[in-house]
Amino acid sequence: MADSGTVRHVIADSDVVDEALRRAAVAARREYVRAGLSMPVWRSGRLVWIEPTELEQYEADGHTATRGHDGAKGKDAI
């Protein structure tokens, strides 16, 4: 187990946290697509369900953030 000093250091480095969240979002989208399920996302202040085909297209377009996420950069994200 990591000591608390290491954990505090990692959390303090927002770039590391942002990258971990980005990778988790990509992995989650791929799992929803693989399972053929719609994915729940927060968009414009409400919960919406995104079809697997839209998730696939989003990744094919080279996007990596999540649409509706306030910290998402660039184009709309899923």
Contact 67, 76 (CB under 8 A): yes
Q: What is the pLDDT of residues 16-75, one digit of tens each?
A: 888 888 999 999 999 999 999 999 999 999 999 999 999 999 888 887 654 444 444 444
Q: Where are the domains of the chain?
A: 4-60
Full-model pTM: 0.64
What angle, rounded to 10 degrees, do the helices at 52-60 and 14-35 form? 130
